[in-house]
Structure 1
Amino acid sequence: MRMNVDILVMTGFAALVVWVFFSAALYITERNNPDPEMAGFYKTVPDSMWVSLLNLSGESPLCNYSVLGKILTGIIGLFATALFGIPIGILGAGFEEVIEEITEETPDEDDGTNGSNKASDRGFSGSGVDSDPLLASAPPSSTAEALYKFTNGLGSAASLWFEGMIYILICLTVFIGIIQTIKGQEDTLGSVEFVAVVIFTIEYILRFIGSAADPEFSGIGNSFLRRLRFIVSFYSIIDLLAIVPFYLALALPGGWVDAHDEYFRMLRLLRLLKLDKYVPSISLIDDVFRLKRQALTVTCFAAISLWVIFSGILYLTEYQDYQNEIDEVPVYGCDEDCTMADRFANYFASAIYTGIALTGDYPIITYSCWARVTCFVMVIAAVGVVAIPSGLVASGFTEIVQEKNRTDNVERAGAAAGDDWYEFRLVELQNEAPPNSAFGPAVDNLQFKVNAFLNGEVSVVPHTHVNPHTFQCGSRFFRVFMMSLIVSNVIAVLLETVPEIDKYVGNQPGNFFDSFEAVSIFFFTLEYGLRVFSARKNLEALYSPWVYCTTFFGIVDFLSTAPWYVEQILLLSGIAESNDTATIFRVFRIFRILQLEDFLVGFRKIDNVFRASRDVLKATGLMAVIIWVGCGALFFIFEQSNPNFRQCDVSIPLRTKHDTGCYDFESTAACEAYYGDGMCVQSSFSSMPDSLFYVAVFLGGEWGLVDFTWGGRMVCMFLCVIGIALYAIPVGTLFESFGSVIGMDGEEEEDEDEED
């Protein structure tokens, strides 16, 4: 802080001025707002300062603003939030710099880079094991070795097909498990699930036999003991947890396992962890913690200290807050006339809400005066510091994955295969002439001209008699025309969704929008066909039409045209009787905005961005999915019958002496079974898709719901502490790679200018 005191004073004063200005302005515009809630939060300038503070920190808890209020909050979102966040960012960055200096002075003895070398130390070592006669070294049989290679995708095309099939089945069964949590869909795709379980069982048996040749158990000389060791291995236990309950429920209908089938179905989601064996992600976290051990020790202590302190302060300021009313929270012992005191009934409850606030989100804003002051201090001084541990884990994970992939790339250096096939092939073709067409020089010449015309190249096209200036002007006109057509199509899609405009143009087949769409499709199809035709002269397509069709741009071009043809086929065949039935295909037109990437230099590097970050994306993307689905399943299990999210018909009492009230039933399903369909409804976490939606929102840093059961609160804390940071790594990686790619291009252009 001392090093940045001048900057802090300057930016802090600017932030203070911005805060006071917008607080006063919103007080003037919203104090007489017809919405009582809005008027209540802006009845005085101090009240306005509380909500304005949240707005400036990136939160928008209220939305029913007046026209002037909407303009002011829009300005806050566009400009003021960034200015207000500067001093907060400086505080967090300064603390992180101090931590880095401390850790550099006392480096870790084990920095995590030798984690892979230590992997063997954790298991069975060869020394001392072979001395046991029961563990005498014995080579695995040829059958075991063949099965090991087959089940791990090694040695043959058949093994690769088998491994790919297992990938697909894992994703399919996870999808089925999610769908079957929806009411009325409990048996959907049950036959597919049965076949999948049989295949997984066969796979497990093959892996069991082949485990005698698994290098992971090479320290165990005896094949029988290797197989026993396999049974208690991590991935074997996952397989058993996902398979065994299915057979138990099948063999013992009506038994305990069958009665709790909805919970055992969640075990099927564990199959996602099997993918970690092929794309390491979760298993790398141990290396991450070793790599950042000292920094994490210091920052976690600071973060936990702040969490404990602010939890206590918020508890003291809110446990007797009987003024600010909230919705009913029967889980916390309040059925009617609930207040903030019911939420903050004890210190541990306060810790949950404080943890959410320290992530920078404020789903609760009805605090007392002193609690608001406490939250102000948290926003200014604590949020940036508390976020550092999760940021360290995220950066450490990225470093580990990148280091691992650099090592793998060195090992396979010179190989024109694998993940880097595009780069290797592109380098090979740099100085090679495009292949000749089988239809002769005339077609070759036409392909050269079409490729140059589409891509705006000014180089001389071989065998052309067209004036270069005329050719360049025509190419530029075509590109501008296509850009205008793309923008016009996007605008048309938006306007068509406005009922008044759609009604004005007729809302009938052949109206203006349909005619404009047909004309647009002609040009989009023409361009797509020309790009496929000229791909054999396009280096970026590796001189291959197929490569072009499978690149980002090729897929976008295809998605821009194909849905229209599908829609026409549906209409002509009678499957879709009206344009409204085929609306889903019209929505695909919005993809056309991505076609602008063909004409804008920055976006033309999107493919490079994905290639530059794909190694990290594979690992972190899988981890993000596992966190999302795993936490979604846990929230579903813990919250599917939470009375806080239960809504009953007005004719149903909340509580009765005979335990037949809305909140008396252990589950919403039991309440509905007693009173009838639709009388008791679970508003949130009623199914896995519903739960996944909320978890996706939570992982984005927004907490629309906070009144969880204690099981849900534990999942909530996991997401606050580390889940959100890990989930955000793929997005952060994309932004970092995009900046790097654009930056490198800029450097290359500068070098070229210097050479000239």
Structure 2
Amino acid sequence: MAKESVRQQDFSLRKRLYLALEQQKGHWYVKAFHIVLMTLILLNVIAVVVESEREFEQHHHFALVALELISVTVFTIEYVLRAWVSVEEPSGKYAHPVSGRLRYLVTPMAIIDLLAIFPFYIGIFASHMLTQDHLLILRTLRLIRGFKLTRYSVSMDMLISVLRNEAETIFSAFFILGIIIVLAATGIYIVEGDDQPEAFGSIPRALWWATVTLTTVGYGDVVPVTPGGKAFGMLITVAGIGMAALPAGIIAAGFTSELERRKETLRTLAMDTMVKYGSLTRKARKRIEKKRRALGVSKVETQIILRELKDQQTLLKPKTVTCPACGEEFVAVETKKRKKSTVIRA
């Protein structure tokens, strides 16, 4: 009996921690904890940037070290707790106590959490094997901690969803762009190789020019000098305008589709909420607003959705009318599609 009570308490604690860490649900101190966590992440990013100034780093060395120790301690505890409570995920995909947690540890956000603390422990346990350049790289890698803010940004969450949904299309676009870059490097090598052997003497050397030209950057450090090379360069530049814009167009279209899906999800929730509460009560509006923030739908779009639903509800609401001739009551239902009333005997 005592063991079952301990298990229930353990389960309850784990569930509460899951809600606090992953869904940010709980008392005021849960929100305060996440605010502190976000502040700590921002301070770490700022610290990595400003400590590159040697004079600043020397004057504030103790404060920077203290910030690093506090940050690593908090991030390590957070990483361990997130792995522990991952079995409480509602869908059940991490339900197994061992394999479920291992699957969680290879998710993108768990990998980011690990990389956020990894440089610190490498620097401690392998410091005798690392040079100053290696330590500088490890310190710079702490900028990865900034990606932890994606948990608190709906826009970043939307971007990750778009990249995940459009991954195959984006990969195809970059694959085609890579092939065209190689073809452009081959072409300029054939045309300009003899005249400028240092810049275009081989296909690998010509890849730099082909890349900056097709991406429309054009640094100008290497340029064709022969008439044939200039003509070929013009062709590649024009082709690069469309190819460089292709991935951006795919991502923009993905953003539009993702936003439409989220608006439709919000519309469905708002419709179910209005049916449940009968009208847009304060409680119903609070529920819809909470979902709106989670989905990242703007307030203007939400107001449009609610206005449309209210209009539909008004049009479909049955009305009782009395026949002026016989005095019998009928139910008139006005349909928006045909813009007329259908009379049904009460």
Say whether the fold is shared (TM-score over 0.5).
yes
State the AA in 1 paired with 2:213: F
SS in 1 for 2:224: coil
Q: Distance in 2 between matches of 1:631 and 1:562?
A: 41
Cα distance in 1 for partners of 2:209, 2:92 equals 41
| Residue number in structure 1 paired with 2:316 | none
What is the alpha-carbon distance in structure 2 between the residues aligned to residue 689 and residue 503 of structure 1? Answer: 43
- Report the AA paired with residue 570 of structure 1: A
- Does residue 703 (structure 1) correspond to residue 192 (structure 2)? The answer is no
**Taking every aligned residue pair, what percent have the same amino acid on both sides?**
24
| Structure 2 counterparts to residues 167-206 of structure 1, below 5 A | none
Deviation of the 1:630 alpha carbon: 4.0
What's the RMSD between the two structures over aligned residues? 3.1
User: Which residue does 2:88 correspond to in 1?
Assistant: 537
Picking from 49, 52, 61, the partner of 1:494 is: 49
Looking at structure 2, the residues matched to 501 and 541 of structure 1 have their Cα atoms a distance apart, in angstroms, of 49
Partner SS state of residue 529, structure 1: helix
Is 1:480–2:35 an aligned residue pair?
yes
Whether 1:604 aligns to 2:157 is yes
Is 1:455 the counterpart of 2:6? The answer is no
Q: Could you tell me the TM-score, scaled by structure 2's length?
A: 0.65
Query: Following the alignment from structure 1 to structure 2, what is the Cα–Cα distance between the partners of residues 496 and 448?
Result: 40
SS state at 2:223 partner: coil
Q: Is the 8 A contact 2:213 2:240 kept in 1?
A: no
Instruction: Note if contact 1:576-1:582 (Cα within 8 Å) is conserved in structure 2.
Output: yes
Deviations 1:604-641 (A, max 9, x none): 23442123212312322321222334434554665566
Q: Deviations over 1:287-341 (max 9, x none)?
A: xxxxxxxxxxxxxxxxxxxxxxxxxxxxxxxxxxxxxxxxxxxxxxxxxxxxxxx
Q: Figure out how many residues of one structure are paired with residues of the other and give that number.
A: 261
Distance 1:602 1:443 in 2: 35
CA distance in 1 between partners of 2:230 and 2:92 (Å): 51
Aligned letter for 2:255? Answer: F
Q: Indicate conservation of the 8 Å contact 1:447/1:534, yes or no.
A: yes
Structure 1, unaligned runs of 5 or more: 1-438, 459-470, 644-666, 668-681
Output aligned runs, 1:377-526, within 5 Å. 441-458=8-25, 471-506=26-61, 511-526=62-77
Which digits, 9 at most, give the CA deviation of each residue in 1:152-210, with x for residues without a partner?
xxxxxxxxxxxxxxxxxxxxxxxxxxxxxxxxxxxxxxxxxxxxxxxxxxxxxxxxxxx
Matched, 1:722 2:239: yes
* Residues in 2 aligned to 1:686 and 1:565: alpha-carbon distance in whole angstroms: 46
1:564 equivalent in structure 2: 120
CA-to-partner distance for each residue in 1:674-700, whole Å, 9 max, x for gaps?
A: xxxxxxxx5x56887765444443333
Aligned 1:328-407 pairs, distance under 5 A: none
Given residue 699 of structure 1, which amino acid in structure 2 is its aligned partner? L
The answer on whether the counterparts of 1:632 and 1:692 sit within 8 Å (CA) in structure 2 is yes
Inter-CA distance 747–498: structure 2 relative to 1 (3 Å threshold): farther
Distance in structure 1 (CA, Å) of the matches to 2:224 and 2:92: 52
Compared CA separation, residues 721 and 599, structure 1 to 2 (3 A)? same
Measure how far apart 1:720 and its partner are. 2.3
Q: Deviations over 1:359-387 (max 9, x none)?
A: xxxxxxxxxxxxxxxxxxxxxxxxxxxxx
Q: TM-score, normalised by structure 1?
A: 0.32
Q: Does the aligned pair in 2 maintain the 1:560–1:589 contact within 8 Å?
A: yes
Name the SS for the 2:154 alignment partner.
coil
Match of 2:136 among 573, 583, 594: 583
Gaps (5+ residues) in structure 2?
1-5, 95-99, 274-346
Cα distance in 1 between the residues matched to 2:158 and 2:171: 19
Q: Aligned in 2, Cα 1:547/1:725: closer, same or farther, shift over 3 Å? A: farther
Instruction: State the alpha-carbon separation in 2 of the partners of residues 501 and 727 from structure 1.
Output: 40
Preserved contact between residue 627 and residue 727 of structure 1 (Cα < 8 Å): no
Q: Which amino acid aligns with 1:612?
A: N
Aligned counterparts of 1:636 and 1:569: Cα–Cα separation in 2: 49
Tell me the equivalent position of 1:733. Answer: 250
Deviation at 1:561, TM superposition (A): 1.7
The Cα of 1:546 is off from its aligned counterpart by 3.4
Structure 1 residue 712: Cα displacement: 4.0
Q: Which amino acid aligns with 1:474?
A: Y
Q: Aligned equivalents of 2:129 and 2:145: distance in 1?
A: 26
- Call closer, same or farther: CA 1:451–1:498 in 2, change over 3 Å: same
Could you tell me how far apart the structure 2 residues matched to 1:708 and 1:621 are? 25
* Structure 1 contact 490–592 (Cα < 8 Å) conserved: yes
